[in-house]
Structure 1
């Protein structure tokens, strides 16, 4: 069975969120679905999108695992964003959390060193 992931993040201020996610993800959206929705394809068939839905803003929680967490965090820092929280679990898995202007949390995880 083929699987696709299309994970949504509701935002109150679409323009501010668009700018913030461009900085976090290091690129403009892969495509703009409408005047109120922008999509980043993180990997084939795996996308995250922001959508202007102020009544739901601030409640999203997503974790994305990347091949090289340290490189991702360093690149985000170079663009002006630092994690709000970093964790290492007993099994060595590490995570770095970022919180957007609405309070949505997007975490990036990586395998143990």
Structure 2
């Protein structure tokens, strides 16, 4: 049985990535198991790992489902994370996307539910 899900984000420079993701998550990393890897626990069994991998940097993508997308996006913008406009997707779902310094994509999802 799967106990945790880990999204892996490939970057060129761990120091600049750590700084950007600290702004995204509004806190320092939860774990730094090795010099080339930092981790944030995004939910009880969900982690985001940011790691140095120059060959894959810029090709990662992950989504975060948030309770209030306007509040989340506005708070992130106040910390320097420039999410795009919130757009209507489908069935009440709304999206806003930003790219990290390497070009990896992070989307905030409002109105997410497990069953549609």
Return closer, same or farther for 1:81/1:2 CA change in 2, 3 Å cut-off. same
Aligned to 2:94: 94
TM-score calculated relative to the size of structure 2: 0.89
Question: CA contact under 8 A between 1:85 and 1:98: conserved in structure 2?
Answer: no
Q: Determine helix, strand or coil for the equivalent of 1:75.
A: helix
Aligned to 2:66: 66
Q: Bigger CA drift: 44-53 or 87-96?
A: 87-96
Structure 1 position 86, deviation (Å): 3.2
Alpha-carbon distance between aligned partners in 1 of 2:103 and 2:2, rounded to the nearest angstrom:
32
Give every structure 1 segment of 4 or more consecutive aligned residues whose post-TM-superposition deviation is greater than 3 Å: none
Q: Determine helix, strand or coil for the equivalent of 1:41.
A: strand
Q: Superposed, which structure 2 residues align to 1:1-113 within 5 Å?
A: 1-111=1-111
Structure 1 position 3, deviation (Å): 3.8
Question: Which blocks of at least 5 consecutive residues in structure 1 are unaligned?
Answer: none
Question: Which blocks of at least 5 consecutive residues in structure 2 are unaligned?
Answer: none
Alpha-carbon distance between aligned partners in 2 of 1:107 and 1:47, rounded to the nearest angstrom:
15
Q: Bigger CA drift: 24-33 or 77-86?
A: 77-86
Q: Determine helix, strand or coil for the equivalent of 1:74.
A: helix
Q: CA RMSD in A?
A: 1.5
